[in-house]
Structure 1
Amino acid sequence: MRPLSPATSSSALLNAHKSRLSRQLSLIIRGILVVVFVFVYFYTVPMIKQKVFEIERNSSRLALNNVFEIANRMYAGVEEYRQQALDNHKGQLKLVVNLAETFLRSHFQEAAKNGIPLQQARQTAFSYLRNFTFGNQDYIWVVDHNIQVLSHPDPRFHQDARIKPGDDIQPILESVVRQAMHDGEGYYHYKWSRIAGAESLDKVSFVRDYPEWGFVIGSGVYLDDLEAEVRLRREQALTDLRHALQEIKVAKTGYMYVFDSNGHMLIHPNDNLDGVTFTTLKNPITQQPINQELMKVADTGKELNYRWDKPDDPGNYAYDKLSLVRYIKGFDWYICSSVYLDELQSSSELLSSRIMVLAGLTMLATLLISSFLVNRITRPLEQLASTALKVQGGDLSARTGIQRDDEIGILASSIDAMVQRLRNNIETLDAQVKQRTEELLATNARAQRMSAVGQLAGGLAHDFNNLLSIIVGNLIVAREHYSANDPELDKLLSPAERAARRGADITHRLLAFSRRQPLQPEIVSVNAVMAEVLELLHSAFSGPYRLHYRPQQHPELAWANVDPGHLENALVNLGLNARDAMQDGGTLTYSWKLCDITRPIEQRFDETVPPGRYIEIGVADTGSGFSQSALEQAFEPFFSTKQGSNNSGLGLSMVYGFVKQSFGYIQLGNPPQGGAMIRLLLPASSAPANPDLSDDDSGRGPELAPGGLYLLVEDNPDVRAVIRKQLTDLGQHVVEAADGDEAQTLLDGLLEHNPTALTGMVSDIMIPGSMNGRKLAATLRRRAPAAVILLVSGYTDDPTARPGSGNDPADQQDPMLVLLRKPFDRQQLEQALERASARVRLHHQHRSLT
C-alpha cells in the first residue's frame, strides 16, 4: 500500500475532527448556563428574598427611630418655650411694678407741690392703680406692712380693706408681704383666685417693698395662662409631626400613627380612626384591647404580631401585621409603625420572580448569541486550521481565502502575510518573532504583575481599613471604660492599639500604591511645600549629611493641583530613602522647574508623557545609586534593599501610587556624576484667585457645641456603630442611613420644613445606592449651606479619577469639605468636625464681605 503524503494526511485529519470545536463550545456554553441557572435558583434567589425581607423590616424600625428622635426634639423645644414664656412674664411683671412706682412718685411729688395732703394723694393714686389692667386681666395691688389692702381691683377690698383674722387669704398675703419686706423684692409663688372667681389657681407675682411709704407693690400672672400658651405650642408640634408622618411610607401601604395613654388617636392616616378613642378595638387573636398591647411593647425593641383587616377588605381580620412602638413620656405620646407582613414579603417575592425571568431571558439570549458566534468563529477557524495544516505539510503557497474586517479577518490576513514572509526568509522571521515575543512577554508579565498586586493591595487595604476602624474604635472605648479600674488591662490594650495603628499606616501605603487612597487635592504652592519638607528633614540631615534646595525659577510660578499632605509625605519619604542610601554621609538636593512639553516623551519616564505644562521636582543624592534590580522592581510593594524588620518596602511604591493618582509621571536614574536622581512630573496649575481664604487645617476650629443633630451614612454596620458611639460621646444626636438612597430620603424629611434642622453630616465616600458620599454632600450643601459636612474614607473606587475632575456638579470641589481618613478615634473625629465648622464659618464670612 502506498503511504499518504503529508498534505493528504493533514486533510484526512481535518475531516475526521471537523465540527468538533463547534460541538465542544456549544456543550460548554450550555453546561455553564445550566449551572448558573441552578445556582441562581437554589442559592441566590432564597438569599435575596431573605435579605430584602430583612431590609424592608429594618427600614420600618429605622424610620420609627428617626421619627422618635424628631418628636423628642419637639418636646425639648416645648419645654424650652415654657421656660422662656415664664421668664418673659416675669420681666413684664417687674416692668409693671416699675411703672407703678414711677407713677406714685410723680403723683406724690405733684400733690406735695400743690399742697394736697398725702393721705388724699394716696387715695387718688390707689384708685388709679385699681383700674389699671394688662395681659389677661392682670392687675396691680398694694398692701401696707400691716397687711391692709390699699389698692386691689377685687370689690372685696374696696370698702373695708383690712383682712380679718381667720380669712383664708390672710396667711397668703402676710407670707408674701413679710418675704418682700425681708428680701426687698422678689418673685413669689402662691395660690389666688381670679376676680369674681372661686377656684384658687397657681400664681406668680413680683413684689417690691417701699419702706419710705410703708407698703409693698405687687403684680402677678396666673400660671394657667402660661399653660394655655404652652398647649398651643404643643398642638403646633403635633401638627408638625402630622405633616412629617404624611411623607413617611413603610413598604407599600404601611404607615405611622400616634396615640396617648388614654387610647385617644392623635394622628392616623385613616380618617375613620384619626381623632377617635380606640380602646374598644381588640386584637382578634388575644381578644385584648389593641392599645394596651401596643403600650406593653413600647421601647422593648420587640414587635407586636397581630391580625387586622385591610382598607379594601374591611371587617376581615385575617391579615398578619407587625408594629413597633416608641413612647415619649413628656408628651404622653406612643409613636407606632404598622405594616402588613405580606407587603414586607411581596418586595422579596417580586424581586425573586423578576430575577428568575431575567435569568431565563438571559439564558435564551445567550444561547442564541452563542450559537451564532460559535458558527461565525468556528467556520473561519476551520479554514485557518486547514491552511495551517497545509503549511505544516510544507505547502507555503496555501492561503486562508478569508476576507473580513473583524479580528478573525485580521488574523487571517496576518497568517497569509506570515506565510508569505516565511517563503521569503523563514529563518530571519523566526529569529525576529522569537526576540519580539520575549520582549512582549517580559513587558506584559511585569505590567500584569503590577496591576494584579495593585488590585489585590487596594482591595485588602479597603477591607482592612474598615476592620481597623472597628478594632481601634472599640479598643479606645475599652480603655476609656475599663483601664482606669484595671491597670493590667491597659498594658494589654496599649500594644494592641499601637499595632492596629501600625496596620492602618501599612494599609494607607498599600492604598497609595494601588492608587485608591482618598485624596483632597487643592491648588498649592510647590515652593511652600518644599519649605515644609526642608523643615521636617532639618534635624535628620546634620553632621556628615547636607540638605540643599535649588529652585530654578521664581517661587510664585510653582502651583500644582495636588493633595498637599500626600505630596509632602512623598518628598519626605524620598529624602529619608536618600539619607539611608548615603551611609557615610553626603548631600541631598531638592529642586523644581516649570516645563512646557510640546511633544510626547516616550523613554525617560514610567509612561509616555503627553504634551502640556508640568512642574518637575527633582530629588538627587550623592549615594550609591540604584542597582539594576532596584530600577526594575523599585515601585513594587514590599521590595526593599534595606535590612531590618522595621522596613515595610512600601516607600517608593507609595510615592509611585500618589504620583499616578495625581496624573503625574516618575523617573528613576543614576546621573553620570554619581548618586541617584528621582524626578516627579506633576501637572502645573494657575495660582488660586483667593489664596488667603482657606482656613488653617493644622489648628482646631471653634469648640464643638453639644446637642447637634448629625446624619451618619455608613454601609458597614459595625463601623457605623463605632462612629455613632463617638458622636454620641461628643454630645451629638445621630440619625443613621446605610446607603445613599436612604440618606437622601432622610434629608428630604428633615430639611423639607426647616433647612437648619440638621447640624451636619458624617458620610463615607464609598456607599451603596445611586448617590455616593460626595454627591450626597453636594446635595446637602445646596439645601443647607450652613451644614457641617465631614467625609470619611480609606479607599476610592476609581484609581484614575479624583474629585473635581469631571463635569458632574457633585464632583466639583467644595472648599468647606473636610476629609477624614479611616481608621480614626473620637479626638480625631472631633478635630475634623471643628475644622469643617471653621471652614463653613470662614466661607460665609468671606461671602458676606464680598
Structure 2
Amino acid sequence: MIKQKVFEIERNSSRLALNNVFEIANRMYAGVEQYRQQSLDNHKNQLKMAVNLAEVFLQSHFREALKNGVPMEQARQIAFSYLRDFSFGNSDYVWVMDYNANVLSHPDPRFHGGSPQEIRDEQGNPVLAGLVQQAIRDGEGYYHYKWNRIDGEQPLDKVSFIRNYPEWGLVIGSGVYLDDLEDEVRQRKEQALADLRQALQEIKVAKTGYMYVFDSAGHMLIHPNNNLDGVTFTRHQNPVTGKPIYQELMNVADTGRELHYRWDKPDDPGNYAYGKLSLVRYIAGFDWYICSSVYLDELQSSSELLSTRIMILAAVTMLGTLLISSFFVSRITRPLEQLAATALKVCSGDLSARSGIKRDDEIGILASSFDAMVQRLRNSIESLDAKVKQRTDELLATSARAQRMNAVGQLTGGLAHDFNNLLSIIVGNLLLARERFGSSNPELERLLAPAERAARRGADITHRLLAFSRRQPLQPEAVAIERLMQEVTELLESSMPSKYQLSCHADAALAGMRAHIDPGYLENALVNLGLNARDAMVDGGEIHFAARLTEINHPRRWDELVKPGVYIEISVSDTGTGFSADALEQAFEPFFSTKTGGNNSGLGLSMVYGFVKQSAGYIRLENQAEGGARVQLLLPAFAASSADTTHSPQAPEFSLGGGLFLLVEDDPDVRAVVREQLTGLGVHVLEAEDGDEALFLLDTLEPSANDNPEQAPPRLTGVITDVMMPGSINGRSLARLVRQRMPDAVVLLMTGYDSGQELQSGDQPLLRKPFDRSQLAAALMKAAHRRNTPL
C-alpha cells in the first residue's frame, strides 16, 4: 500500500508541476493580451493628441495670419504644408480633407490633392468620402479601414481618430497601422517564451524527468535536449503504436489522461525500451502544448526507497513514543493533573484551594508559584475590581469621544470637499456674469451681489469645516510663537472695549525655539479663542495669553495621550463663567455653540481643534479653580536655525499675456470656470482631465534638440493642476515632474481640501478653492516668482 501511495504521490507531483507551469504560461498569455489592449488604447490616445495638437497649431497660425493681414487661403496653404511634414510614432502622420473629400494635406504625394474617385476600398466604395460623412455625422470618433503605407502598395488594416471642424469646413484625422501593434505583441510573446524557458530549466521531475513545449505544427519550442530543441519532430514515432508521437501528445492534452510510450535514455541512446509517462496541457492563445515527461522506473524506485524509510521511521517512532509516554505518566502527567484540578477549583471561585505538591524540580517550583499566586490574587482582587472598573469607564468615554470626532471629521471633510468644487463653479460663474452683463444691467447687479456674498460665506464655512476635519491645506513654516502671540494680543486689544483687559506673557526659554506650523491658521485660532473669551464675559474681565516651553518625558493625557518630546504650551484664560458640562463634552464638535444669534456658525473651536491636530499637536479645555475657563494648546517645538530667517532673492517681473498653460482638473464644470478665468487673463489653455492625460500632453509638447524651430510644438508657459485627482499620479507629483523637466515653467497647485499631509510645504504657492480671476492672477504671479524654488 505504501509503495502504491508513494508511486501515486510521485506521479501527482509531475502533474502538479505541469499545472503550475501551465498557470504561469496562462498568466503570460493574459499579460500579452492585456498588453495588446493597453497598446491599442495608448495608440488611440496618441492619435487623439496628434489631432488636438494640429487643432492648436491651426488656431495659432490662423490667428497670426489674421493679425498680420495674410489672406486666409494663403494661411491655410502654409499651415497645411507644415502639417504635411509632421510625424510621430512609427512614421504616423496627420491628414486634412475638406467636406468634398479633397485631400488638402497628406505626406504621401500619391494622395495629397487627390479626388475621392481615385481612392476606393476592395468593394469599390470611396474610402475618403465615407470617412468625411461619418466624421460630419458623429463629430469625432475612431474608424477602422484599410490604407496603404507611405510608398507602399498593399492596403493594411488601420485605425484612425477623425474630428470634424465645421468652423473651418475641415476634417482632420490621424491613424495607426494595426500590424505595428501586432509586431509589439509578437515581441512580447517571444519574451514570454524566453521567460518560460528560463523557468523550465529550474524544474526537475523525479530524477531525470523534464518538461518541454511544442506547437500544433510539431515544432519543438523548448526542450532540454539540444538534439530536439528548436527542431520539427513530426517524424518521431511512438515505438509502441508506430504513430507520430506529437499527434498522440496533442490527443491527450487537457484530458487528464497520461500518454504511455517507450523512449531511449541519455545514457542508452537509440534503445527505445524504457517506459515513460507524459501529461499535456494546451494554451490555445499561444498554440503551446506543455508536456511533463518522467521514466516509470524512476517513479517505482523512488516509491520503494521512500516506503522502506517510512517503515523504519515508524518503528523507531513507536518505540520512542512508548518510552517517553511511561516517563510522562510517572513524572509529569499525574502532578500536572493534580495542578489542573486545583486550577479548576480556583477558576470556579474557590480561592482557598491549594495544589499540595512539594517537589524540588520544575513542577514543584510551578506548583508553589501557583499557590502563592492564588494567595496574592485573593488579597488584591477586591481593590483590583474597583480600579479596573474606574479605568474601563475612562477608556470607554475617551474611545467614544474619539470615534465620534473621527466620524464627524470624515463626514465634514467629504462635504467640504464637494462644496468647495460646487462653490468654485458658483463663484466663478457669478463673477463671469457680473463681468459680462452686470455693468449694463443694474437690476442684475443687485441680484448678483447677495448671491456672491452668500457663496463666499459658504466658502468660509467649508474652510472652517476642513480645519476641523484636518483636511485643510496648510503651508507651515518656522514660527516664533512669542512674537505672533504678541501681535494677536495687540490686534484684539485695539478692537475690544476698555472693559476687557488683555495681557500676554511668554517665557524667556522660547527665544531660541520655533514651531513648524501655518502662522495664518495659528493666528486665526488665537483670535477665535480670544473672541470666545470675550463673549464669555458680558460685563468685562481679563483675558490672558501665555506661552511656555515644556518637556514631556512620559505619556500624558490631554485630548489623547501626548507623545514624549519638547513642546510649546499656549494657554488662553479668562475670568468668565467657564465651561458647562455639555460644553466640555461637545465643544469641539462642529455647529455646537452656547451662543445665541444667527451669525454664530459654531465652528470656531472646531476649527481650532482641527488645526491643532493637523499640526501634530494636542488641545485641552478646563475650568480654573479661581473661576473662568482656560484653553491650552500643545505644539511640537524645535530649535531655531539661521535657515529660518533666510530670504529668497527678488525674482524678475513676469507677464501672463500670450502664454500657453496646461490646466489639469478632473471636474469638468470647475475646469470650464478656470479656463474662462485664464482666457480672461489673456493666456492660451490646454486641458487635461487627470494626471495621466497631462503626462501624455507633456511628453508630446516637450521640445526636442532635433526639432525644427518653425515646426516645433508650442512651448508651455506653465501648469495649473488640482491636487486630488483620479489616476496614477496626483497634482503634487505632477507639479514636481513638471519642475524637473521645465525648471522655468510656472507651476500652481489648486485644491479644495487635502486628504493627508501632502501640502505641508511653504515653498510651493497654493490656491484654495473657490477663487476669482484676480486671486488666480495673483497666485500665478507668486508662482512665477518661485519658478526656481525646488518642490
Q: TM-score band, normalised by the shorter chain?
A: 0.5 to 0.7
Matches within 5 A, 1:711-790: 711-753=662-704, 757-790=715-748
Contact 1:659-1:682 within 8 A present in 2 as well: yes
Question: SS of the residue aligned with 1:770?
Answer: coil
Measure, in 2, the Cα distance between the counterparts of 1:242 and 1:233: 13
Alpha carbons of 1:527 and 1:285: their partners in 2 closer, same or farther (altered >3 Å)?
farther
Matched residue, 2:753: 795
Contact 1:788-1:837 within 8 A present in 2 as well: yes
Contact 1:621-1:677 within 8 A present in 2 as well: yes
Matched residue, 1:68: 55
Matches within 5 A, 1:548-627: 548-553=503-508, 557-595=512-550, 597=551, 599-603=553-557, 605-627=558-580
Matched residue, 1:115: none
Which among 784, 788, 791 is matched to residue 837 of structure 1? 784
Which among 79, 86, 95 is matched to residue 242 of structure 1? 86
Alpha carbons of 1:796 and 1:315: their partners in 2 closer, same or farther (altered >3 Å)?
same
Alpha carbons of 1:394 and 1:795: their partners in 2 closer, same or farther (altered >3 Å)?
same
Instruction: Give the drift of 1:552.
Output: 2.1
Question: SS of the residue aligned with 1:710?
Answer: strand
Contact 1:285-1:307 within 8 A present in 2 as well: no
Which among 133, 147, 163 is matched to residue 324 of structure 1? 163
Matched residue, 2:196: none
Contact 1:710-1:758 within 8 A present in 2 as well: yes
**1:560-617 CA-partner distances (Å, limit 9, x unpaired):** 221122122111111111111121112222232333x2503413x2223223333322
Matched residue, 2:444: 489
Output the amino acid matched with 2:589: E
Matched residue, 1:504: 459
**1:197-230 CA-partner distances (Å, limit 9, x unpaired):** xxxxxxxxxxxxxxxxxxxxxxxxxxxxxx9xx9
Matches within 5 A, 1:364-403: none
Alpha carbons of 1:305 and 1:794: their partners in 2 closer, same or farther (altered >3 Å)?
closer
Instruction: Give the drift of 1:54.
Output: 11
2:488 is equivalent to residue 649 of structure 1: no
Measure, in 2, the Cα distance between the counterparts of 1:443 and 1:304: 59
Instruction: Give the drift of 1:306.
Output: 6.1
Question: SS of the residue aligned with 2:86?
Answer: helix
Instruction: Give the drift of 1:266.
Output: 4.4
Which among 155, 162, 173 is matched to residue 336 of structure 1? 173
Measure, in 2, the Cα distance between the counterparts of 1:71 and 1:731: 19
Matches within 5 A, 1:404-419: none
Q: For structure 1, which segment, 271-280 or 586-595, has the greater mean C-alpha deviation from structure 2 after superposition?
A: 271-280
Alpha carbons of 1:56 and 1:301: their partners in 2 closer, same or farther (altered >3 Å)?
farther
2:475 is equivalent to residue 632 of structure 1: no
**1:468-503 CA-partner distances (Å, limit 9, x unpaired):** 111222222223333344433333332222222222
Measure, in 2, the Cα distance between the counterparts of 1:678 and 1:615: 14
Aligned length: 561
Alpha carbons of 1:737 and 1:426: their partners in 2 closer, same or farther (altered >3 Å)?
same
Contact 1:600-1:608 within 8 A present in 2 as well: no
Measure, in 2, the Cα distance between the counterparts of 1:666 and 1:431: 29
Question: SS of the residue aligned with 2:632?
Answer: strand
Instruction: Give the drift of 1:736.
Output: 1.1
Output the amino acid matched with 2:786: R
Matched residue, 1:257: 94
Question: SS of the residue aligned with 2:561?
Answer: coil
2:156 is equivalent to residue 309 of structure 1: no
Contact 1:396-1:423 within 8 A present in 2 as well: no
Alpha carbons of 1:571 and 1:475: their partners in 2 closer, same or farther (altered >3 Å)?
same
Measure, in 2, the Cα distance between the counterparts of 1:494 and 1:287: 65
Alpha carbons of 1:614 and 1:63: their partners in 2 closer, same or farther (altered >3 Å)?
farther
Q: For structure 1, which segment, 678-687 or 634-643, has the greater mean C-alpha deviation from structure 2 after superposition?
A: 678-687
Measure, in 2, the Cα distance between the counterparts of 1:599 and 1:625: 30
Unpaired stretches in structure 1, ≥5 consecutive residues: 1-51, 87-226, 249-254, 345-386, 399-417, 805-812, 845-850
2:399 is equivalent to residue 444 of structure 1: yes
Measure, in 1, the Cα distance between the counterparts of 2:684 and 2:375: 79
Output the amino acid matched with 2:576: G
Instruction: Give the drift of 1:235.
Output: 9.5
Output the amino acid matched with 1:832: A
Question: SS of the residue aligned with 2:698?
Answer: helix
Matched residue, 1:691: 645
Measure, in 2, the Cα distance between the counterparts of 1:274 and 1:519: 59
Output the amino acid matched with 2:662: L
**1:291-330 CA-partner distances (Å, limit 9, x unpaired):** 566667889981378662267999789988652145897x
Matched residue, 1:473: 428
Contact 1:667-1:679 within 8 A present in 2 as well: yes
Contact 1:527-1:558 within 8 A present in 2 as well: no
Contact 1:297-1:325 within 8 A present in 2 as well: no
Contact 1:298-1:327 within 8 A present in 2 as well: no
Output the amino acid matched with 2:479: V
Measure, in 2, the Cα distance between the counterparts of 1:734 and 1:257: 22
Contact 2:80-2:105 within 8 A present in 1 as well: no
Measure, in 2, the Cα distance between the counterparts of 1:590 and 1:395: 58
Output the amino acid matched with 1:600: H
Q: For structure 1, which segment, 831-840 or 271-280, has the greater mean C-alpha deviation from structure 2 after superposition?
A: 271-280
Measured on the aligned residues, the alpha-carbon RMSD in Å equals: 4.9
Contact 2:510-2:549 within 8 A present in 1 as well: no
Question: SS of the residue aligned with 2:562?
Answer: coil
Alpha carbons of 1:237 and 1:265: their partners in 2 closer, same or farther (altered >3 Å)?
closer
**1:716-763 CA-partner distances (Å, limit 9, x unpaired):** 111111111111121111111111111111112212338991111111
Output the amino acid matched with 2:770: P
Matched residue, 1:39: none
Contact 1:714-1:720 within 8 A present in 2 as well: yes
Contact 1:256-1:338 within 8 A present in 2 as well: yes
Alpha carbons of 1:539 and 1:556: their partners in 2 closer, same or farther (altered >3 Å)?
same
Measure, in 1, the Cα distance between the counterparts of 2:42 and 2:408: 35
Instruction: Give the drift of 1:655.
Output: 0.6
Alpha carbons of 1:803 and 1:826: their partners in 2 closer, same or farther (altered >3 Å)?
closer
Unpaired stretches in structure 2, ≥5 consecutive residues: 1-38, 182-340, 354-372, 705-711
Contact 1:72-1:328 within 8 A present in 2 as well: no
**1:205-261 CA-partner distances (Å, limit 9, x unpaired):** xxxxxxxxxxxxxxxxxxxxxx9xx9999799558x725x4389xxxxxx6513466
Output the amino acid matched with 1:476: L
Contact 2:47-2:161 within 8 A present in 1 as well: no
Q: Percent identity?
A: 49
Which among 610, 614, 638 is matched to residue 661 of structure 1? 614
Output the amino acid matched with 2:645: P
Contact 1:283-1:307 within 8 A present in 2 as well: no
Output the amino acid matched with 2:768: R
Instruction: Give the drift of 1:660.
Output: 0.9
Measure, in 1, the Cα distance between the counterparts of 2:46 and 2:350: 72
Which among 769, 772, 784 is matched to residue 825 of structure 1? 772
**1:14-45 CA-partner distances (Å, limit 9, x unpaired):** xxxxxxxxxxxxxxxxxxxxxxxxxxxxxxxx
Instruction: Give the drift of 1:788.
Output: 1.2
Contact 1:523-1:688 within 8 A present in 2 as well: no
TM score, norm. by length of structure 2: 0.60
Contact 1:78-1:233 within 8 A present in 2 as well: no
